[in-house]
Amino acid sequence: MVSLFKQGKRWLVLGHRWLGIGTGLLFALWIGSGLVMLYVPFPSLTETERLARLRPMAWEAVAVSPDEALAQLGETRMPRSLDLEMRGDEPVYRMSSCDGRRITLSARTGAPAGPVDAEAARRLTGAGPGASVEEVARDQWTVTARYDPLRSFHKVALNDAAGTELYVSQRTGEIVLDTTRFERGWNWVGAVTHWVYLTPLRARADLWRDVVLWISGIAAFTALTGLVLGIWRLRLRRRYARGRVTPYRGMARWHHFAGLIGGIGLTTFILSGWLSMNPNRWFTSLAPTADLREAYAGADNPVGLTTGSLRALAADAPLGLHLARIGGHWVAMGIDRTGKRAIGDAPSTARIAAAAGLAMAGARLEGVERLDTHDLYWSPLTSGTLPILRLRFADPAATWLHVDPRSGEILNRLDRSGRVNRWLFTALHRLDLPVLVGHPPARDAAQWLLNLLAGALVITGLVIGWRRIGPKASAHSPLPARGERAASPPRWGARRGGSRG
């Protein structure tokens, strides 16, 4: 048994040493890129940016009602939602079909609004004479599957001082993304590095997920073994020679202390980062399934708005309308520069609860709670919309639905596994902790402190690793403290790495 214990300890030391050498640079990249991501998110088109580019609705040009346009299209199912807005000088209806296709119909004629060419994309973006247009099927900023129904794109480079580039869907004519030179530059050393978001790899979602799971899993094992060895080699009572608490000298000594000071926190970073990839599909997505959304929308009832009644809404909807089907009833939302607001009465809580009951296949509704402030499971870091309704169900997964009371639309689905993930990933990796909620400066300071500790840990580890495998390795052989035997390799006994995963 003693021999087996010694052999296990030896393999633990050797495993940590060589895995540390292999993953040390990766840790350094994760730490640096994670700090960049605190301030520069991955490029996206926010709702505020989208609304800022919409032209005022030409209500006098709307000659076809929503029901007439859908009848001409020949769809057998009603969409869950429908938007009426401008595409250049043309009022159009936009919707997603049941099979996920994005459809755009002319509100003048009801006919499908065809694909847009490069010149049309230039006009839709208001680009000046110095702008250039390039056709793009998939690139670094449109690599994810969420853009698949909209491909391909016209990338319009405005050639302005900010280096703005706008992506226009060839299929629908929508502006779906904007990026600036600042965002693109910092994201190469931020999100692209942190998430291993290389286009050829990320375009193959399953392969990318497997690669990141294995890389982060190995890194997590390296961090855990370092934490174990660091605590193991620490002596506070029966100390080493000359009262030392560590057997190491020089750089290894600093590496040991850096690991002990920030060990637990830094290990949680890398482990929670691994968990963010949802190994073995342990956690349910926050996004409601298509079936749940369809059941929540209810019966395929017609919209029931004529062109005359549409024009009567013009004062409340300067940029157009958003129509959502909730439990078979349509809710009209007027769009202006600040967002969407219900026209008339918002859907009642009773109607929302009834629609949610249908969506949850008859599961018992345990309670409905209105939140006017954030709480542990509706945090400003991950959401932001207020107020919201929280509907709790007594189904096997203990599901909560968060619903916008103004539109009646489901914002997310949070079951038991999602609430666990909130603590294992969001709390530990992004420091979305109760004591820091609502205090962004304190949260940023905590992130910097933990990442700087990780940086000290990684730098000392990289130096030690280089001395072992570098050209002068033999001249830098580590020595134990006086009075210590060199029976076991001392240099990497406290090696551990930290990352934001």
Q: Please give the backbone phi and psi of residue 334, each rounded to the nearest 5 degrees, phi first.
A: -80, 140
How many residues are present in the chain? 501
Strand partners, 412: 402
pLDDT, tens digit (0-9, with 9 covering 90-100), for 417-433: 999 999 999 999 999 99
d(CA 63, CA 74): 18
* Run of H or E residues at 90: strand 90-96
Strand partners, 304: none
Q: Please give the backbone phi and psi of residue 331, each rounded to the nearest 5 degrees, phi first.
A: -110, 130
* Domain ranges within the chain, ordered by starting residue: 1-40+190-284+419-501, 47-185, 290-414
pLDDT at position 60, please? 94
Q: Kindly give the residue spans of alpha helices, DSSP state H, lying in 189-204.
A: 191-194, 199-202
pLDDT at position 471, please? 66
Strands 165-169 and 153-157 turn out to be antiparallel
Q: Which of 70, 93, 95 is nearest to 80 (CA)?
A: 95
DSSP strand E in 48-121: where?
Answer: 81-87, 90-96, 102-106
- If you search the block for the tokens 């973006």, which residue do you land on? 125
* Run of H or E residues at 5: helix 2-37
d(CA 32, CA 412): 31
Question: Hey, what amino acid is at 222?
Answer: T
User: CB under 8 Å to 135, separation ≥6 — which residues?
Assistant: 118, 152, 153, 154, 155, 170
- The CA–CA distances, whole Å, from 256 to 20, 135, 248, 267, 452 equal 13, 53, 8, 14, 15
User: Tokens for 433?
Assistant: 């902790």
Q: What is the DSSP string of 262-308?
A: HHHHHHHHHHHHHHTT-GGG-S--SSPPHHHHHHHH-S-------HH
pTM summary value: 0.87
Strand partners, 332: 323
Burial class of residue 350 (count of CB atoms within 10 Å of its CB; 0-12, 13-18, 19+):
exposed
d(CA 481, CA 464): 16
d(CA 309, CA 323): 14
User: CB under 8 Å to 447, separation ≥6 — which residues?
Assistant: 34, 35, 38, 431
Q: What is the DSSP string of 110-133?
A: -SB-----HHHHHHHTT--TT-EE
Strand partners, 35: none
Task: Identify whether the C-beta of residue 143 lies closer than 8 Å to the C-beta of residue 199.
Answer: yes
**What DSSP designation does 378 have?**
B
pLDDT at position 498, please? 36
Secondary structure (3-state) at 320: strand
> Secondary structure of the chain: what % helix, strand, coil (to 5)?
45, 15, 40
Task: Identify whether the C-beta of residue 185 lies closer than 8 Å to the C-beta of residue 140.
Answer: no
Task: Identify whether the C-beta of residue 272 lies closer than 8 Å to the C-beta of residue 239.
Answer: no
Q: What is the DSSP string of 420-440?
A: HHIIIIIIHHS---TTTTT-H
Question: Hey, what amino acid is at 196?
Answer: V
Which residues of the chain are under the pLDDT cut of 50? 477, 479-501
Strand partners, 273: none
